[in-house]
Amino acid sequence: MKSRKTFIAVAFVLIGIIVAIVVFKQFRTPSSPLADGNKNQSLDESKEHSESDDKKVLHISEAEMKEFGIEVGTAGPGKIEIQLSLPGEVVANADRLVHVVPRVSGVVRDVRKNLGDFVSAGEVLSILESRELADAKASFLAAREREILARANFTREEDLWKKKISAEQDYLEAKRAIAEALIELRSSEQKLHAIGFSDAYLSRLPNQLEIEYTKYVLTAPASGTILQKHIAKGEVLKDDSEAFVIADLSSVWVNISIYQKDMPLVRKGQEVIISAGHEIPDARGVISYVGPLVGEQTRTGIARVVLPNKGGHWRPGLFITARLTVKATDVPIAVSKTALQTMEDKTYIFVKTEEGFESRPVTAGRTDEKQAEIISGLAPGQQYVTNGAFALKAQLSKSAFGDEHGH
């Protein structure tokens, strides 16, 4: 009896499952063609709505065009300049670089200038105490005295010889002595001239105190900024030691690195735009030199631009980007770069139509400093806004734009 009840229960469960499956299939109907049509229609409407959103028309009066500075041009063919963008560095102009070396050895007693100081030509940089200089001055003074004595003796012997009082041999000996004294004097003079002393200084030398004989004043040979300093008080400075390096930074060099693939495109005489960022205005220059060698480590060549630097913006060591035009290519449609506006990650141009100014999405191609190639979205002969497009973009962005204009 118990087994029969179990069998009946299982049968009822199976019947329930079968009924549930039938009901599920009955109510699950496939989508009808009408429903599919409605769905496609909805997608088409959505697409049309999206395209409509991309194109908005502004109605602008002539007075407002003048107010906004709106100018209109005609789309047509043009030339796009192909540019190279190369790295570079500002360095001191080697033609205006001065290495300051003392002309005699000595001990540094005073240092007057430091790194970064601007100095004028002739300004004192340092003072040395030099035994070598003292010896040179002493030799000059001794030669000067010997020349004075020899000249006096020659004058006396010449007078005696002419009066037949002394022998000719004494006269000739006095003449030889004065010649030797003059040679010695001129030799000592030339040595002091080589050290940097003038004839005027030498004429005053006999009246100087002996303590001044060892004093050597190291002065700036040219005006400029001290870039390097290799001198300290108390050290012994030799006559081949580089004490200072001074640079005239009113002109600098810009060394541009040229990659191997770009070397055939870079030539002397090409115009270059130099950019450094950091609120430094761009500068224009001309390539004055293209190096014949390629660096072993960098595998790059060098092109050089001599750049005026009156304002001091271009500091040695500054990294720059150099842009130079290597060729120009013809394109079917070229527009002014000021015409391109970006809205919601898309590029737009405002096209003049019968209704007003329409914001039209376009695809831009190659660009240069002034123009951009338009690949799609604009046809030749169509009028577009060349200047003032940003003002139109601002009008579209206003939430209350419809209060004053229609779109």
Give me the residues of the chain with pLDDT under 70, please. Answer: 1-55, 399-407
> pLDDT (tens digit, 9 = 90+) per residue, 21-70?
654 455 444 444 434 444 444 434 443 444 445 567 888 778 888 888 98
Cα separation, 202 vs 136, in Å, equals: 12
pLDDT of residue 131: 92
DSSP-assigned beta bridge partners for residue 219:
124
pLDDT of residue 65: 84
CA–CA distances in Å: residue 111 to residues 99, 125, 213, 217, 222: 16, 6, 19, 10, 18
pLDDT of residue 42: 40
Cα separation, 334 vs 368, in Å, equals: 10
pLDDT of residue 220: 96
Domain locations in the chain? 54-80+329-403, 85-94+248-328, 95-247
Cα separation, 358 vs 157, in Å, equals: 113
* Global pTM value: 0.61
Same fold, 85-94+248-328 and 95-247: no
Length of the chain counted residue by residue = 407
Instruction: Classify domain 54-80+329-403 at the CATH class level.
Output: mainly beta
pLDDT of residue 170: 83
CATH code of the domain made up of 95-247 = 2.40.50.100
What architecture does CATH give domain 85-94+248-328?
Beta Barrel (2.40)
